[in-house]
Structure 1
């Protein structure tokens, strides 16, 4: 458990630095302004992972614990929730998603031989998934923007 905890902390520190830089470069939020929000998000994630690890029932994924914990501590009326919401609102979602997706890409890239074993059909399915996601997002954005009268 201690080895996992050390690995998680190192990973969260690396990702947090990347998020701070991305938030600063992409959204003009100074790193010191976003730092409290990054720390809160990393702590929530770390606590969720610990809960998942110590829970004997492994049927619930760790992301569920993280989401429930984040939901509970941001409920209006919970002591400190306003401050947590204020801090985390300075961290842009895309600044968080970018390093995580980069990490996923790197982990897939490290195992190209395993990926190649899946066959050419996997590449076609992946292309259709990406195309469907893009087109679905574009259609939803078009509908919403037209409903709001923006376009």
Structure 2
């Protein structure tokens, strides 16, 4: 797998952000420019996580750093979390899926021979993972909402 340079990674993140902002504007009542600060925050968190994965010893994937940093920055009581949360509310996270899934589809298309070698089992595995993730999320949401008295 190719390792991208930091400028290449930044360019990819910016392109993905622009596509996400367009999808966000089309799928919600939030104007394009209002969501830009939240998207910039997402880009900065992503870049910080990618840099951390390259600099910090240990083979921890960048997504772990990105997720951890995002959780820390939005945790209530963390300095500046109110501002970060205010801007992040303007970004519809469902609209982030469109360019990411398109990129994943292109990546799979480029590696079609490798994809064919995995056979039909990968499709079954993917379906089991999707269903398991959905059901797990639903159970957790149900438990939390019941504990809070919302349902």
- TM normalised by structure 1 equals 0.78
Q: Which digits, 9 at most, give the CA deviation of each residue in 1:28-77, with x for residues without a partner? A: 2111000000000110010011011001211x221121122122222333
Determine the structure 2 residue equivalent to 1:110: 110
Tell me the equivalent position of 1:49. Answer: 50
Give the drift of 1:106.
Answer: 1.3
Q: Which residue of 2 aligns with 1:74?
A: 74
Structure 1 residues 77 and 123, CA gap change in structure 2 (3 angstroms): closer
1:16 correspondence with 2:17: yes
Indicate how the Cα distance of structure 1 residues 113 and 78 shifts in structure 2: closer, same or farther if over 3 A, else same: same
| Alpha-carbon shift at residue 119 of structure 1 (Å) | 2.5
Structure 2 unpaired stretches of 5+? none
Find the counterpart in structure 2 of residue 7 from structure 1: 8
User: Partner residue of 1:33?
Assistant: 34
With over 3 angstroms needed to count, the CA separation of the structure-2 counterparts of 1:29 and 1:104, relative to structure 1, is same
- Whole-Å separation in 2 of the counterparts to 1:71 and 1:120: 36
Task: Return 5+ residue gaps in structure 1 as ranges.
Answer: none
Aligned residue-pair number: 141
When normalised by structure 2's length, the TM-score is 0.78
Q: Counterpart of 1:90 in 2: which secondary structure?
A: coil
In angstroms, what is the RMSD of aligned CA positions?
2.7
Pick the structure with greater CA Rg: 1
Following the alignment from structure 2 to structure 1, what is the Cα–Cα distance between the partners of residues 32 and 135?
34
